[in-house]
Amino acid sequence: MHENHRERMKHRFLAEGLDHFEPHNILELLLFYAIPQKDTNEIAHSLMERFGSLAEVFDASYDDLVTVPGIKEHSATLIKMIPELSRRYVIEKNRVTTSLSSMEKIGRYLVDHYVGINVETVFLLLLDNKFNLIECVKIHEGSVNSSAITLRRLVETALFKRASMVVLAHNHPSGITLPSSDDLFTTREVKRAFDLMEIKLLAHIIVAGDSYLDILKSYPPK
Helix, strand or coil, per DSSP, at residue 91: helix
Is 89's pLDDT higher than 90? no
Ranges 83-92, 127-136, 168-177: which has the least confidence: 83-92
Return the pLDDT at 207. 96
Check residue 36 and give left, alpha or beta (phi > 0: left; psi -120 to 50: alpha). alpha
Is 96's pLDDT higher than 60? no
Fill in the amino acid letter for 147. Answer: S
Helix, strand or coil, per DSSP, at residue 41: helix
CATH superfamily of 99-218: Cytidine Deaminase, domain 2 (3.40.140.10)
- Band of residue 141 on the pLDDT scale cut at 50, 70, 90: confident
* Distance between CA atoms of residues 162 and 199, nearest Å: 10
Q: CA 105 from chain center: how many Å?
A: 16
Is 146's pLDDT higher than 90? no
pLDDT per residue as tens digits for the range 37-60: 888 999 999 999 999 999 999 999
Return the pLDDT at 142. 73
Residue extents of the structural domains in the chain: 2-90, 99-218
Is 99's pLDDT higher than 70? yes
Mean pLDDT to the nearest integer, 9-20: 91
Helix axis angle, 23-31 to 73-94, nearest 10°:
110
CB atoms within 10 A of CB 73: 11
Task: Tally the residues of the chain.
Answer: 222
* Distance between CA atoms of residues 205 and 100, nearest Å: 14
